A and B are shown apart, each in its own frame.
Chain A
Amino acid sequence: MEAFADALLRMFEPASMAAIFLGMAVGVVFGIIPGLGSVIAMTLLLPFTFGWDPILAMYVFAGIMGTASTGGAVPAILLNTPGTIANVCTTFDGYPMTRRGEGGRALGLAASASGLGTLFSIIVLAALLPLATVMLMAFGPPDIFWLVILGLLAVTFASRQNMAKGLAAGGVGILIAMIGSSPVFAKIRFGLGAEYLWDGIDVVPLAVGFFALSELIAYTSRGGTIAEGEASLNVGGIRQLLRGAVEVFQYKGILLRGSLIGTITGAIPGAGGAVANFLSYTSAKQASKTPELFGTGYAGGIVASESANDAKDGGILLPTLTFGIPGNGEMVIMMTAFILHGIQPGRDLLVNRTDIVWAIILGVIGAQVLTTIVLLGAGGWLAKLSVVPVRYIAPLVAVLSFIGVYAIRSNIWDVLLAVAAAIGGFALRKAGFPLITLVIGFVLGGEAEKSFIQSLQISGGDYMVFFTRPVSIILIIVIIGTLGWSLRGALRANARAREVRA
């Protein structure tokens, strides 16, 4: 507790606040630009922090990781263009709200749901640090396989209107995930002899093409402004923002579930913010009494999406701090920063360097609070974007998207892929295929294959490995329950339809 008090006092020193502010500013900007995200921001700053006090460096990195996905909510809501892949579900309800002239309210909701999600997960992190071993041991490849299957089931719920088209898109996503080197065997599939396909299709150009660039085609062909007619007269405004910020508390159940899903998903190495985002959104919709409201500009949808993608921060720190096992790209950079500053993750860190642990925890919280304030402050101004004619917005978003896509690995083919995905995505949308299920299939398909084969390699080919672990059994029960629940819903809807006809 003493260490906590010390750390808290230190955080309010000018240098600490400056470091947190720097991390926050960089994180938000990189979050807003489609394609860029926290990983690339942290990498770029890494060499500059070599000579710094390690605590200050931790504040910067914690600041970035805590805020990038909050920044990513801004273009998701205002431009239907998720700033990071973890903001995809925010577009479902955020953008319809913007078109209704409620962009400010949506930003308020996102800012406050993000802040509360982070807070929740950081508290859980602090509480769970002693239990980290259990978590880590509990999730082996067979358990991850079932978790991914549960996620893939979400495809059916995410395909809002047409389940058949949703499943078809999900299947195409899984097929795209198979391109490139197999995750387990040294074999290149669907390689077409092209060097570019060795490492498979990268999710960033695909998602930027699908969500950001294809949206540009859509709104350029429509013209005008994003918020139209009456709606455009009444955009933003601090009252709307505050209304959104306070409104979050009306969705306590969704907020809590989203935060919990985010935290747990974050703690599983490899799962990450995008999966947390999908799972939270689909489970909120499934549990809702009014599922038809999701996707129409429903406040609860934004809460589900934004609470989960920020709550993953607490979860993801758990295996990193306790075992030095980084769960995603952000944590790999964080580990590198630890090593360069002579910090040894693991028990030594938790016992002897509690100042560092608290610096990270407080850095994440501090940056998140700052982001929430900044978003609430600038939200009204940002929301005005929705009344700027799209012919000015489209080129800007296109340039930023291309920069983001190219910057990741300096590969011009990534830019071409994004363009191809934009055209393909636009066509699929026009034909009524939900792109989100394609991307879920893409993200989870590869993971499903990998964990399936790993499980069989571990067991030497014995399929019982999938049915004997406690976590697997729990997940199987949840899967059966989910299927039963949705089947029951479908049967009831059918019966009702029949009654109406009779």
Chain B
Amino acid sequence: MRLIRAIHWLRALALTSVLAVSALALVACGGEEDPTANFPERDIEWFVGFDAGGGFDVASRIIAEAMSEDLGVNVVVRNIPGGGGRRAVQEIARGVPDGYSISIVNMPNQITAELLDPEGIDFNSLGWIGRAVIQTYGYYTAEKNPWTSVEQVAASTPEPRFCLTGLSGHSFLVAAISTQELSIPWHPVTGYGAAEIRAALLRGDCELGVGPIAGDTLTAVNGPDFKVLWMFSDERFGPVPDAPTITELGYPDVGGASLANNGLVMAPPGTPDAILDKLSAALNKALADPDVAAGIAKAGMEVSTQTRAQSAASVKAMFGVVEENIGIVQERSKSQ
């Protein structure tokens, strides 16, 4: 009898404990009702998929400093170069969705990489925060080359050669798509560092360069040795107002601004909306700071802000442009 009572007592105790623990858990959960409310509580890591010192890196450092002030925690820039920026994308794609790791990403080129060699990354599922910077691309050449129109370049003999860093990356993407659309022969010379291309143009290794007309390239084309042939933008590009747009030269269908390089900022899939909103607000507030904009402009990029929805929509639109051209891109990335 005593035994039975003891068992009853124990059962009661167990039941009470379970109830107590559950209640405690509920209370605890209640305390964490909104885990995003106190975000951020510690430092945020901002990945850059490229080496330190490049355009996106410099822009990231300027923006991160301003965001740190606003959020009250450090936004720490961390370079994780690899695979032309892909390593950073992968880190984010499989990252913890808590808002403490975010990354700037070069678009649409990461979409190209994904289409050419799928790693199973669903870009639409990533948490898009906004747009940090944009780089407008153009063709440039040595001053001594006499061309003023697309037709002159295309018909030039011997065939004009294209100096490129490699058969991947945004410059390659722009070169591959635009030469096809403009009927310019495809004669690449590859393997140059971005800055070496200017030496190669002067030396006559090649006749054409393509890239963001920014930073040291902007300085060079404003100097006596180089000139811009045309810009892929919808309107004349402020820093080189004398250079025509590709639309003005009679090729409105080539892509214009859709060939720009976008520095979008993203967080891992599944990051709560409330956190993304906070990050987006902090990013856009930093970008609205005239000092930040000036620093970014000095480094040769433009501030062009987007809301979260706009960024997500532009990623979808970029898919369209890249998918349309993926055939020629693929063919040319294999050719030489």
Contact = CB atoms under 8 A, between A and B. Distances in A.
Interface stretch (A12-20, A309-317, A333-341): A333-341
Contact of A325 (B58, B195, B295): B195
A141 interface: yes
Interface stretch (A277-285, A343-351, A427-435): A343-351
Nearest to B161: A458
Interface of A: 39-40, 43, 46-47, 50, 133, 136-137, 140-141, 181, 183-187, 195-196, 198-199, 269-270, 319, 323-326, 329, 332-333, 335-336, 338-340, 342, 344-348, 409-411, 450, 453-454, 457-458, 460
A348 B223 contact: yes
Contacts of A460: 187
A40 B300 CA distance: 22
B48 to A, nearest CB: 10
Interface of chain A, helix or strand or loop or mixed?
Answer: helix
A336 B78 CA distance: 18
Given A195-B83, A340-B295, A410-B78, A345 B216 contact: yes
7 contacts: A39-B53, A181-B168, A184-B336, A198-B86, A323-B220, A336-B215, A409-B79
A43 B298 contact: no
Contacts of A40: 52
Contact of A137 (B78, B187, B203, B222): B203
A183 B82 CA distance: 14
B130 interface: no
B263 to A, nearest CB: 16
Contacts of B170: none
Contacts of B53: 39, 43, 46, 329, 332-333, 336
Contacts of A269: 193, 195-196, 199
A199 B79 CA distance: 15
B202 interface: yes
A460 B300 CA distance: 34
Contacts of A198: 82-83, 86
Contacts of B223: 344, 346-348
A50 B161 CA distance: 38
Interface in B281-336: 295, 298-300, 333-334, 336
Contacts, number: 147
A410 B78 CA distance: 8
Contacts of A185: 167, 190, 334, 336
The residue among A46, A186, A326, A340 with the most chain B CB atoms within 10 A of its own CB is A186
Contacts of A332: 53-54, 195
Given A186-B333, A457-B189, A326 B205 contact: no
B177 interface: no
A46 to B, nearest CB: 7
Q: Sorted from nearest, which 3 A-B pairs have the closest CB atoms?
A: A186-B167, A43-B52, A186-B333
B58 A340 contact: yes
B199 A319 contact: yes
B36 to A, nearest CB: 27
A99 to B, nearest CB: 38
A450 B191 contact: yes
A444 B205 CA distance: 21
A137 B202 contact: yes
Given A186-B168, A339-B298, A324 B220 contact: yes
Given A269-B193, A347-B223, A450-B191, A199 B83 contact: yes
A269 B206 CA distance: 17
B224 interface: yes
Contacts of B161: 457-458
B153 to A, nearest CB: 18
B227 interface: no
B90 interface: yes
B190 A454 contact: yes
A133 B52 CA distance: 29
Nearest to B197: A325
B219 A323 contact: no
B195 A326 contact: yes
